[in-house]
Every structure is written in structure tokens, then in C-alpha cells.
Structure 1
Amino acid sequence: MSDDRTSAGDPARTLALLWRDEAATPRRGPRRGVDVDTLVEAAVALADEQGLAAVTMRKVAERVGVGVMSLYTYVADRAELLDLMLDTAYAQMPREDTTSQPWQARVTAVAEANRDLYRRHPWAALISTLRPPLGPGQMAKYEHELAAFDDCGLDDVTVDDCLTHLLTFVRACARDSEAARTRDQPDGVSDEQWWAAAGPLLTRVLDMDRYPRAVRIGTAAGTAHGSAHDPEHAYMFGLRRLLDGLAVLIDVDHRVQ
């Protein structure tokens, strides 16, 4: 699991960078031919192409054509760069106007927007945001997503709880989906090939009388989904159940019959 997290740098300097407050982050050294936005764009592209581990200060500097020491005149360290990357990705998310739609549709739109974010930037799901990057992208995202629960009869703390639960679910599904997408790459063995090899071996050692449910239900699920885990099915099933759970909290007058 990645140890990368947002808001791991100096709070005052990171916030100044996120909000592009140049007065609070004076640039050291001679003026360069690139700016912070150029560096962030390069870092995002690098992460999209090669994964989050590829984002190092040296590689970003090479991509924009500056010396690595020059990079430190813009951002103090990789922690600041990660905050800038994620906040930029948030800022670029489409914000669909769903104000006239039922709450289920509004909440689903939030889930789908975040799922699309992780499809475009798989690395974003690997960064812990327990301390969120408090930049303009994060704040615009939060403001927009909270509106999905308008007029649902919930108090403010419960609204935040509901949104957090939704986003945690989508992020977990995104991580599983990315793992499924890349799982064949290291050894070149597909799921079907792996099960074809492992299945007969498991049958030889497994006491079916001792694990009757595991055998029966596991076989049924594997046959239905073509794998031990189908990320698409898991997301759709989970989202429907999540909406069912939220409906318990929401005033009956706002439910869609």
C-alpha cells in the first residue's frame, strides 16, 4: 500500500502554493522559464503514464527541462507536489448540474464523477486524503458534492458522513478495478489461465465436506462473474446497496417510489 498522503508538507507553504499566493511563497533564485502549473502538468502526466512511484523530483525536472535543484525553487518537496497534483485533478473534474433531479440521481452522479476521475488518474486513488489538500480544486469539489444532499432532511454532520461514506466506497472500488486491470501484467497469466491451473490443485487438497458453503457459493459466484472478483459488478451492487442505506436516513418525502 502506498504511504503517499496529502497535506504532509508545511501547512502554510502548501496552502500558499495551492492558492497560488505568490506573496507568501517568494521564489528563490533567478526567474525560470517554467511555472508551478507547468510542473504540476508534467507530474500528472508522468503519474498517468508510469504510476505514482515514478513521480520523483528528478524525473519531473527532466520532463520540463530544468535542473532538479531548480525545481526546489518552486516546490519544497514531493509532498507539496502531490497536493498540487491532486488538487489540480479535482479542479478539472466536470461538475454536472443535477439540482432538478432526485437525490438518488444526484448522489449517483457524484459517484460516477469520482469513478471517472480514478479511471483517468488511477494514481489519485492511492493517495491518502485523510488530511485533504485544501486548495481551490478540493473546495470546489466538496461544495459541489455536498449539494447532492440538499433538501434531504439531514443535518450538516450527517451530510458530511454520507458523502465521506460514498467517496470511500468509490475509492476502494477504483483501487480494486485498477488492480484487476493490471493484474495480468507482471506474469502474463490471465485470470482464466490462473484458475485453470489452480482449480484442479485446489480440488485435490480441499475437503468439500468441511467447507460446504465456501465451495458451493464460491463456485456459483465464480461461474456467474467469470472470476473470484468482478470489479464492475462489485461497484454496481455496492452502489445500489449504498443508496438503499442512505434512503433509511432521508425523509420519506424525498424518496423515489
Structure 2
Amino acid sequence: MAENSTGRGEPSRTLALLWGEPTETPKRKGPPRSVTVDQVVGAALGLADEHGLAAITMRAVAERVGVSAMSVYTYVPGKPELLDLMVDACYAGMTRTPWGRRGWRSRLAAIADTNRELLVAHPWLTEVAALSRPPLGPGVMAKYEHELAAFDNTGLSDVDIDAALTYLLGFVQAHCRSAHDAARATTDTAMSDAEWWAANQAVLARAFDAESYPRAVRIGSAAGGAQGSAWAADRAWEFGLARTLDGLAALIGEQ
């Protein structure tokens, strides 16, 4: 399992932290604690949002929250547990509006949109939020319950509902990873897509030989002209989400 992913901490300690339950750690001696676990998690979230996962070290978190490097471990045992707490806190903060009488396509599109918004706000989540081992805290459970409710009255079995939700969220995660990669490429090269293509015209003229690669030249040119680059995040999102929902319609039917 990747180093930065959920579900790597010791389960009993992680669950106790997630649900605010007492741990088996002996009562500490000395002055009362000056900060809370929530403040530690908030400091870690700020570091991750500003500088990415590489910035998340226990020492850096301790410095930001204003405690010693060693005392931060009395709040959170280590980085694996901290990552679980961070992910759960992000999920807990999501807006959850009752589904009402909306059709299933509208409900599932809303799930996709809110998860995309979350991953855009916290890009590092695509690297740590493992679908197979989510942190089973109150944020995760509230998110799961709300999103499952979007499948009410679709006629799907419980097993298919879970699979359909995983399928939908998998599309969202894959899209957001691609969008983040595209954004990083722009940042790393200090060039927009349009500038990159313009700077490589001489090479492209040789590579895009219409006689050798007729489809690549014709279709690539049409797509590039339509969306202004080889890949456009919003266009890819609209097309991919529609096709994902079309796939689920084969199970649910248009209602």
C-alpha cells in the first residue's frame, strides 16, 4: 500500500481518535494540553492545501500548531493516523442537502459535482483517499449514508448500490487526478497548453504526418480546435460524467 494512503494506522487507535473516544494511553503527567486534536488536524490540513502532502511531517504540524515536536505525538500517534483524521475532517465538512424528489440522474450528478469540488479544493485527497480502506469516522459514515440515499427507489440491490456508488466516485477520482496532472504540467513548465503547442510547432509538424497518421491528424486537430488544447478538464468532465450516468442507466433505467 502507498505510504500516503488511508487505512495504514493502527485500527483501534485510529477509530478512537476519529470518534473522540478515550484511548488506552496512560494518563499523561504534567501541565494540561494547550491545543486540541482538531487544531492539530486543522494545522495539517492547512499545510497539505498550501504545499501538498510532502509538507506533512509531525514536526511541521507541531510548529504550526505551536507545540513541541515530541508533544504532538500525545495528540496523534503518527502520520498514518493523522492522514485518516484529515480525510475524515474533509468529508465531515461537505454540504449535504436532502435529495427530495429529484430524479436519480440529478442526484448522482450532484454527488459527482460535490466530490469534484472537494478534490479541487484539496488536491492531495486524490493521493490518500483509498476507496478500499476509508477511515471509518463520522465524516466518512455521514458521506456514505448521504450518497447511498441518492440511490433510493432505483430498484438496485444493496450490493449493486454500493458498486454503483464506487463506480461513480472512481470516475470522479480518475478525472481529478488527470486535472491535477495537467495543472502541475502547466506549473512545472511555466507554460500554458497553448504556449507549449506553439513552442513545439516544428517538432509537431514532423510528427503529425497526415499520410502516416491520417486519423491522428484529423481527429487530433478537430479536438484541439474545439477545446483549445489536447485535453480540456471541463469538457472531459461533462462527457465522462454523462457516459458514466448512461452506463448506470442500463441498470436503473431512465426514471
**For the Cα contact (< 8 Å) 1:27–1:74, is it kept in 2?**
no
- Give the % identical residues: 53
Q: Counterparts of 1:168 and 1:128 in 2: how far apart (Å)? A: 11
| 1:155-212 Cα deviation digits (max 9, x unpaired) | 0110011000100111111122223333322231221111012232122244432221
Change in 2 beyond 3 A, CA 1:81/1:27 = farther
Helix, strand or coil at the partner of 2:188:
coil
Q: Counterparts of 2:26 and 2:177 in 1: how far apart (Å)? A: 38
**For the Cα contact (< 8 Å) 2:37–2:75, is it kept in 1?**
yes
Partner of 1:203: 205
The runs of 5 or more residues in structure 1 that have no matched partner are none
| 1:123-162 Cα deviation digits (max 9, x unpaired) | 1122141211111100110000001111101001100110
| 1:205-245 Cα deviation digits (max 9, x unpaired) | 44432221111111111111111110111111111111111
Letter in 2 for 1:120: A
Partner of 2:16: 16
Q: Could you tell me how far 1:23 is from its partner in structure 2?
A: 4.3
Q: Could you tell me how far 1:116 is from its partner in structure 2?
A: 1.2
Superposition map of 1:1-257 within 5 A: 3-26=3-26, 28-30=28-30, 31-129=32-130, 130-250=132-252, 252=253, 255-256=254-255
Helix, strand or coil at the partner of 1:183:
helix
Q: How many residues align?
A: 252
Q: Counterparts of 1:25 and 1:237 in 2: how far apart (Å)? A: 51
Helix, strand or coil at the partner of 2:22:
coil
| 1:42-73 Cα deviation digits (max 9, x unpaired) | 11111111112111111100001111100111
Change in 2 beyond 3 A, CA 1:26/1:216 = farther
Q: Counterparts of 1:207 and 1:3 in 2: how far apart (Å)? A: 44
Moved more, 36-45 or 183-192: 183-192
TM-score normalised to structure 1 length = 0.93
Q: Counterparts of 2:27 and 2:139 in 1: how far apart (Å)? A: 23
**For the Cα contact (< 8 Å) 2:186–2:192, is it kept in 1?**
yes
TM-score normalised to structure 2 length = 0.94
Q: Counterparts of 2:20 and 2:48 in 1: how far apart (Å)? A: 22
**For the Cα contact (< 8 Å) 1:29–1:73, is it kept in 2?**
no
Change in 2 beyond 3 A, CA 1:45/1:233 = same
| 1:90-125 Cα deviation digits (max 9, x unpaired) | 001000211311111111111111111112211112
Moved more, 13-22 or 121-130: 121-130
Change in 2 beyond 3 A, CA 1:27/1:245 = farther
